[in-house]
Structure 1
Amino acid sequence: MVLKVDVKLVVLEADEVIIRKVKDKPVSIKICDLIGCQTCEEPSSSLSSLFMTPPNIVIRYISRGQHYKWTAETVEVIGSKENCEALKNEINNKLGQEKERPKKLAVFINPIGGSQTSMSVYSKVVTPLFKAANITCDVMVSERPKHMIDLVSGFDTASVDGLVVVGGDGTLLEILNCLLTRVQKEAGLDYDQPSCKLKPLEVPIGIIPTGTGNGAATGLYGNNDVVTAVLHIIRGQTNYNNAQAVYSGRKLVSFSGGVCVAYGLFSDIIYHTDRNRWLKRARYVVVPINILLFKRQRQFTAKVTVFPKEQNTDSSDEDTDATGREESAATEGKEAEFSSNLIGVASFGVDFLSVATDSKLDFVKATQSSRKNGGFCLFINKRTSRTQFLTHFFQLMTLTRSAFEKDFLSTHSVRGYKVKVLSHDESPQANSQEAEINKLVDVDGELIEIVDEEYEVWNHMRIIKFYTCF
C-alpha cells in the first residue's frame, strides 16, 4: 500500500506519526515502527512531472498482518521542499534516539544454502530495506564448506551492533558454535562440564531465512518470510533464547540453536539426504519418502536417562544455573529407562508438550514459553507399523496435541537427558556405512560424531541474544 499525502497532513507527535484525512480516518504510526525517511530523487524527465506531482520525501513503516507476517509500507509526501526537508530531519532525529536500533551490522551469507538464492534475496530484498533504515553493513560471503567458521572466528563482533545470518539452521549452527565457544574460552569457563553456567552472547543475531531448514527463524518471527525477518532486525528489539548443548566423550561437541537433536531415524534421513546431492533440491523429498516407505528401519536398545523439567522454573532467578536447575539438585528427579525396539530419540528446543493444543502450534508462543519454563521436549520413538508412523510424521508438521498421543511414542518435558546405545538389532561390520551412521547425531540438520554411541543434552537458559520483537 502506498499513500500519497500533503506534508501539511503529516503531524509528528512524541511517540507517533499521524497522517490525517486519509479516507477520513487518521493513520497512526508508532515511531518504533518507522523504517526511515528519505528524500526522493528528482524525476528523470520533465515529462513525468507534467502528469503527476513527484513526492519530495518517502516515509517507510512496518505494517503487521496475519500469522505474524510484517510488510514494509510507503507514504509519499508532497509539499514545499523546506517543509518536507524539515519533517524528514525531525523523523530521522527521532529514529536516531531509538537506542535499540542497529546502525551497523555484520552480514554473513551462505550463497549455496537452500535454493541457492541467498545472494539474490540479500541484494533485492534485504539491502533496500537496510538502506531505507540507514543501516550500514559489512558483508562476508562463504566460499567453501566450513568457510563460515573462519569468517566468524576472525571477526571482531565489538565493531558492529549486531550480526545477521543469511542462510538456514545449518549456517546459524556454525556461527553459534564458533561464537559461544569463543565467549566461554575468553571467560575462562570449563564449558565441557554440563553443569557449567555459560556466559551469554552479548552481540545480537538476526536470521534471514534462506536455508533448507529455517526452524530457528520460525520460532523467532512466527514464519519464514524474509521481509518480516528484516523488519524485526531493523526495529532492533532483542530477546535471549535458550540453547541446548550436546556432550559426548566428556566434551562439548556442539550447541543447538533450539531446533533439533536426534539419533536414529532422523539422523539416518539427514545422512542419506546429504549423500544424494546429485538429486539437488528433490533429495529433501525423495530420500525421506524412500526411507519411510521402503527401507528397513534400524532398531536399537538404549538406556535413556531423563531429567524432568522442574516445576515453576523462573529464568529470571539468578541463583539458578544456566541449565535451569540448582547445582545441588542436579541429579534430582532422574528417571532411567532401558528401551528396546527403538527407532529414534529426538529432542526439540521448544517445549511443545507444554503448549500443544488441538490447533496448529503457534511457534512464537511456544518459544516465549520455553524462555521462561526452563524445559524442552524429548521424544522416544518405538517401532511401529509404517502406516502409524507416517500418520504421526505428517501430524508433526502441525504439532497438534494428537501428534504426541501415540502408544509408540514416549514424551517428556525435560531440562536434560542422557542416551547410551547398548545394542543394535543388526551388528554392522567395522568401517561399514551402518557403523558410521551409528556414531552420528543430527544437530539442527548437521551430523555430529559422538563417542561410544553415548551422549547427553542439557538446556542452557537465555544464552543466545536474537533480534526479535516477540
Structure 2
Amino acid sequence: MVLKVDVKLVVLEADEVIIRKVKDKPVSIKICDLIGCQTCEEPSSSLSSLFMTPPNIVIRYISRGQHYKWTAETVEVIGSKENCEALKNEINNKLGQEKERPKKLAVFINPIGGSQTSMSVYSKVVTPLFKAANITCDVMVSERPKHMIDLVSGFDTASVDGLVVVGGDGTLLEILNCLLTRVQKEAGLDYDQPSCKLKPLEVPIGIIPTGTGNGAATGLYGNNDVVTAVLHIIRGQTNYNNAQAVYSGRKLVSFSGGVCVAYGLFSDIIYHTDRNRWLKRARYVVVPINILLFKRQRQFTAKVTVFPKEQNTDSSDEDTDATGREESAATEGKDIEGSYISIASSGANQNFLFPPFGASLVSLIKHPSEFMVALYRECGKLAFLSHFTSCALKKPDAFEKDFLSTHSVRGYKVKVLSHDESPQANSQEAEINKLVDVDGELIEIVDEEYEVWNHMRIIKFYTCF
C-alpha cells in the first residue's frame, strides 16, 4: 500500500512520525520502525506531471501483519522542496541516532543452495531495502563447495557492523563453525573439551532464508519470509542465542545452530536425499516419503546418557557455565539403554523463540540452559509419517506419541552398541552408521559414539523477538 500525503500533514515527534490524514485517523510510525527517507528522482518525462503530482520524498516503514510477517510500506510526500528536504534531513538524523541499526554489513551468498534463487532474491528484494535504509554492503559469493569457509576465514568481522547469510541452514552452519572455532582459537581456549566455557561471537548475524532448510530463520523471525528477515536486520535489534556443540573422538566435530542433531532415521534421510540429486528439488519430498513408507526401519541398540539441569539449585543463568552446568553441580547423568530407530535433539529453547519443529518443544524445555532430545522406538510407518508431518506443520502435539520419549537436557551422550544387521566393512550401511545429521549436514563420528552439549548465549543474531 502506498500512502500519498502533503508534507504539512507529516509531523516528526520525539520517537515517532505522525501522519495527520484529513478524514481518517492519524497514522503513527515509531522511529525504530522507519526504514529510511529518500529524495525521489525527477520524473522521466514532463507528461507524467500533467496527470499527477510527483512526490518529493518517500518514507518507508515496517508494518506488522499476521503470522509474524513484516512488510515494507511507503508514504509518498508532496509539497515544497524546501519543506520536504527539511523533513527528510530531520528523519534521517533521527535514524542516525539509532545506535543498534547497522550501517555496513558483510553479505555472504550461497548461489546454489535451495532453489538457486539467492542471487536474484538479493538483487531484487534485499538490495533495494538495504539501499532505502542507507546500509552499505561488502558482498561475497561462494563459487564452489566449501568456498564459503575460505571467504569467512579471511574476512575481518571488525570492519562491519554485522554479517548477513543469504542461504539456508547448511550455509549458516559453515559460517558458524568457522567463526566460533576462530574466536575460541584466538582466545586460547580448549574448545575440544565440552566443559570449556566458550567465548561468544561479538558480531551479529542475520539470515536471509533462501535455502532448502530454513529452520534457523524460522526460529528467529517466526517464518521464512525474505522481506521479514531483511526488516529485522535493518532494525538492528539483536539477541544472544544458545548453540549446541557435537563432540566425538574427544574432539569438537561441529556446532549446531539449534535446528537439529540426529542419528538413525533422520540422518539416513539426509544421506539418501543427498545422493539423489538427479531428482533436483523433488528429492526433498520423494526420498523421505520413500524411506518412511517403503523401507524397513533400521534399528540399533544404544546407551543414551542424559544430563538434566540439577533440580535442587535456584542459580540464575549468569551463575552457570557455558554448558549450563553450575560449577558445584554433580555431573552424573542418567543412563537409558534401548532399541531405537533414531535419536534426535533440537536446540529449541527460550532464546529460540520460534522452534523449527513445533511449538510443543518450548513447553518440553524445563530451563533456558536446556534443550530437548527425543528417543524414537520402532513404530508403524503411518504413525511415524504422521509425526513427521506434524513436525513440518509445527503442530503443538507433534511429540505426544507413545513411540518416543523426550528429555529436557543440558547435554547427552550416545554410544551405539549394536545394529539389527551387521553391515559389511566399507558398505553403504557401514558408512551411514558413522554419520550424524547436524542442521541438515552429515558429520562423521568416531566409533559410533558422540555427545552434544549446550553452550549458552554464544551467538548474536539479528532478531527483534
Normalised-by-shorter TM-score class: over 0.9
User: Equivalent residue for 1:289?
Assistant: 289
* TM-aligned CA distance change 1:455 to 1:237, over 3 Å: same
Partner of residue 418 from structure 1, selected from 401, 413, 436:
413
Deviations 1:164-198 (A, max 9, x none): 00000000000000000000000111100000110
| 1:346 aligned to which of 333, 344, 347 | 344
CA shift, 1:355, in A, is 10
Distance 1:217 1:5, change over 3 A: same
Change (3 A) 1:330 1:195: farther
The aligned counterpart of 2:223 is: 223
The 1:395/1:314 distance shift into structure 2, 3 A limit, reads farther
Task: State the shift of 1:400 in Å.
Answer: 3.6
Is contact 2:271-2:442 (8 Å) kept? Answer: yes
Question: After the TM superposition, which residues 315-394 of structure 1 pair with which residues of structure 2 at under 5 Å, given as runs?
Answer: 317-332=317-332, 334-340=333-339, 342-351=340-349, 373-394=368-389
Q: Which moved more, 1:185-194 or 1:398-407?
A: 398-407
Distance 1:177 1:330 in 2: 29
Give yes or no for the alignment of 1:267 onto 2:262: no
Counterpart contact for 2:324–2:455, Cα < 8 Å: yes
1:123-182 deviation per Cα after TM superposition (whole angstroms, max 9, x unaligned) = 000000000000000000000000000000000000000000000000000000000000
The alignment partner of 1:181 has SS state of helix
SS at match of 1:45: coil
Match of 2:432 among 424, 429, 437: 437
Residue 452 of structure 1 pairs with residue 429 of structure 2: no
Alignment of 1:161 onto 2:158: no
* Post-superposition offset of 1:327: 2.8
Matches within 5 A, 1:48-127: 48-127=48-127
AA aligned to 1:386 is K
Identical counterparts, % of pairs: 88
How far apart, in 1, do the equivalents of 2:358 and 2:404 lie? 22
Q: Conserved in 1, the CA contact under 8 Å of 2:242 and 2:459?
A: yes
Q: Distance in 2 between matches of 1:315 and 1:70?
A: 37
Q: Which amino acid aligns with 2:126?
A: V
CA distance in 2, matches of 1:405, 1:100: 41
Change beyond 3 A, Cα 1:31–1:355: closer
**8 Å contact 1:243–1:255 — kept in the other structure?**
yes
CA root-mean-square deviation: 2.2
Matched, 1:202 2:202: yes
Counterparts in 2 of 1:372 and 1:60: CA distance versus 1, 3 Å: farther
In structure 2, list runs of 5 or more residues that go unmatched.
none
Tell me, in whole angstroms, the C-alpha distance in 2 between the residues paired with 1:183 and 1:349: 21
Partner of 1:258: 258
Distance 1:29 1:376 in 2: 38
1:69 and 1:228 in contact (8 A); partners too: yes
Aligned residue runs from structure 1 range 174-253, under 5 A = 174-253=174-253
Specify the alignment match of 1:5 in structure 2.
5
Q: Which runs of 5+ in 1 are unaligned?
A: none
Q: Give the deviation of 1:287 after TM superposition.
A: 0.5
Contact 2:357/2:394 (CA < 8 Å) preserved in 1?
no
What is the one-letter code of the residue matched to 1:211? Answer: G
Q: State yes or no: 1:37 paired with 2:32.
A: no
Change (3 A) 1:83 1:269: same
Amino acid at match of 2:341: I
Q: 1:349 is aligned with what amino acid?
A: G
Return the alpha-carbon distance in structure 2 between the equivalents of residues 139 and 186 of structure 1.
Answer: 25
